[in-house]
Structure 1
Amino acid sequence: MSGRVGDLSPKQAEALDEFRERIGDVHDKLPIQSDHYLLRWLRGECPVWYDVIGPLDPKGLLMSASKQDFLRTKIRDSEFLRRECLRQSEKLEKPVEAITLIYDCEGLGMKHMYKPAVEAYGEILTMFEDNYPEGLKRVLVIKAPKIFPIAYNLIKHFLCEETRRKIIVVGSNWKDVLQKYVAPDQLPVAYGGLLVDPDGDPYCKSKIKYGGVVPKSYYIRESVKVQYDNFVTISRGSDLQLEYEILVRNCLLRWQFAGDGADIGFGIYMKTKAGVKQKVGDMQEVFPTTRYNAHLVPEDGSYTCEEPGIYVIRFDNTYSMLQSKKISFSVDVVLPETHTNSEGQA
């Protein structure tokens, strides 16, 4: 079925009736009231996600949660959108595989150029590109200030060429442009549509996250004094390697660490030769090295060692030629359940 008037399946006809009922209160305000006009929205009805950039407090957020927490949050959002695409596919009886992303850049400024935030956002973009290929149908950038090209240059190298081509920077007629891509009942009044919250709020704050300044009382460093089992200073241009012998499969290697002054690299390797000191390039990397802002928020994590062997936890400061790093850390090995004693078992 083509999804056009006179060629609708029962499910498509049901979707049209539901859509017509949903917009009943504003139907007479549409420029055209025909089914042809309504079906145009249904045929293009992919999920719409709003990112309101201006009010965000990047530094405050990164002082209050770890970078891994941000990645997990974005993975959660991405999975939600993937499920929405599946739901729409079933509802419309056609593949819906991508979303429309609206970036509201009003208020974009120097606070958004905060280096740790740019790096974290780059990792989020890389995660999305790697795990949700072709997940974007289009990106509509609205209310972009003069500083936008600078901000875009900081992150565009994380985007493949195909994704870059989907980015549309809209001018002063952005309300008219949004109406070409988003159904009026899904576009808030503040963005030129017909959607309002139950209390009449034209910004639809119950559906769209607008963010704001993070209170300093939320800052982890302000409320928690972090001191782990070990303390060490890693000289500029050097690293620290810690060896752990894993004797049985599926042991859990757990860590916590905090830094002082600047970020620090962290990764895990497995030796390919026992009894000798190996260079990093000669070992097998099992947990990719990433730079963490542990001077802002403590980091913690775990890795399941699927094979016995010598595992090397590495704190990396080789990229810093001017600054040594102080870190406090704790590492322990947890045996798999089958190797722990259970009371009452023979």
Structure 2
Amino acid sequence: MVQEYQSPVRVHKFTFEMVMAAYERRFPSCPQIPVVVECVITDDSWSADDSQRHTTRRCQLNVEAPYLLKKMIGVDYIYFIQKNSLDLKKRVLEIEATNETFSARVGVVEKCKYYVHPDNPEWTCFEQSALLDVKNFFGLESTVEKIAMKQYAANVAKGKELIDVFMKEVYNDGVTSLNPWTQGAVTENRELRRILSRGTEPLSPMLTSENRTHSEPDQYTLDSDYIKRYLGELSPMQESRLLQLRKWIADLQKGKVPSDTTLLRFLRARDFNVEKAREMLSQSLLWRKKHQVDRILSEYETPDVVKQYFPGGWHHHDKDGRPLYILRLGQMDVKGLLKSIGEDGLLKLTLHVCEEGLKLLEEATNTSEHAVQSWCLLVDLDGLNMRHLWRPGVRALLRIIQIVEANYPETMGRVLIVRAPRVFPILWTIVSTFIDENTRSKFLFYGGKDYLQPGGLLDYIPKELIPDFLGGPCKSFVHEGGLVPKSLYVSGAFTEREGDPLSEDSIYRSVSLGKGQVHEVIVPNRDPQSVLTWDFDVLRHDIAFTVYRSDHELCHPPADTTALCVGGGDEAKSVLDQKGWREGEHFHRVEPTLVCHDGESIQGSHVMLEVGSYVLQWRCDVLDCTHRAAQLMYFHETLTSHHYKGSMSSLQSGTSGFSCLSGKSVSSSCPSR
């Protein structure tokens, strides 16, 4: 197995010559890095003009390996050969170290480089990289690799600190500045050589040195101060993975490399596995190019229906400086929006929001004193009901969630859910399985009105920025949402994808009813506490809707059938009437009759607490003067009980309410029980 490691550029705010003087103080041994026992010079030579020095050392290391492992391999120490090339004329020190011990089984090559900062000649840069090739190590390859990684990370973390420590010794010796090597300045150059010849030279390599040789162009390097300021705290291994991904993507793209924050998000999404992150990012970059996502911010035009009825928008920031997005999901007409702008339109809106979010993150980082890497989402569920469980709409939203998860990973820092109603467990059960586990862990839920109590929103959002619709003092410009009038629907705007077995055409059934006729769906239930849901549109005339339950078995459907449709057409009587049964004795009404008017869309649910037969019944009692048949289009579904274990307290016992979504310009009122 071969591992490569690359550390970011460390910047020492001292001249190259002063850094070299401090560097010499670290040897022959360095108490701050006890793994280095001793370094012995085996060869040391200067050029005639004192501008170049070539040094070779044999370094003894006491690797922090388990005692039993050391006994098994029969060594207490390992040895490295380190070769240094100092060029005072070019102001560069290059260091290469290779292992002498077990070289036939394990190959370690570490390279370091000190050089003058390209933008500030008073500063010095340091790069460090290594390659670890464990060929065959008595079956302990994985163990050796882990030990190496641990040791390398520990030593890299100390590198910059050590220069600062030894620089104090240089100052204490009265050396506060050193002139660079100058052609012909024999006396000054000889004095510089004398100061730089103290000690027995550099820090030896580590068996654990695991980073790539740094011969690549400067575009593959990162300053450690820059990382801390704009990317946040990263471990040496995480820094190394970031540099590796940066180079690989540059080689793949042969063009502009995504920002370091983007690379870091994809690495975090794949637990800093570079191969997996590269695959995920490569697919995302192809997706962005195919759909011209980079042009969305400049070219996207918000549809009028979104301006009027989409209840979401950016709203200041949270206490951590994250941009805050508000979504009043309970007031969002998913069905109306999809019927107006389609799934592609809703996706473009979502992508525009995400691209705005990335821009706001960059601005927040630049104006704050720390890296802001994710945004905060505040979701208000007041008004959420069964209309939000319109299955084609849910499936469209899930597709959008999957696209966002794949292309904007690790952008969600926190999700605050407020005013969650009783139907929320159903919606959450459906949606949560499609959300990344790490993202789900960032959700915080507040039911009722406790969100403004201690431990609520005030822990995360400044008091003065709590939006007015939640009882705060801050004016919110997020639209209230509401029902999209059917007059704004666009024919063909939303259709389920071809081949989808749950397409709207296949899951919705159309029925015509004459005066006095009924249409019924019989749902056998053998799963107590499962949830029966329904969604139907009244397309013409008024229709009465009721739900009944009987302990008696009303039909014998095939084993793979969950419901049986009866009535409609010439059928005038309910299956209950045909059997001569009496209400209250042979069957019971479990949902009160609801008269639904022309143009209304109805959604609802019922918790089936008992086994038996449930009957969804639609009845037409009156026709208008045209005598045209009443029409409706409906869909129903049974959600199994195991999804709701522990969540049933959030649902009403025994019955659940009807909720209405009028297709007219004004909302009709429906009772909610």
Higher relative CO (Cα under 8 Å, sequence separation at least 6) belongs to 1
What TM-score do the two structures reach when normalised by structure 2?
0.26
What TM-score do the two structures reach when normalised by structure 1?
0.50
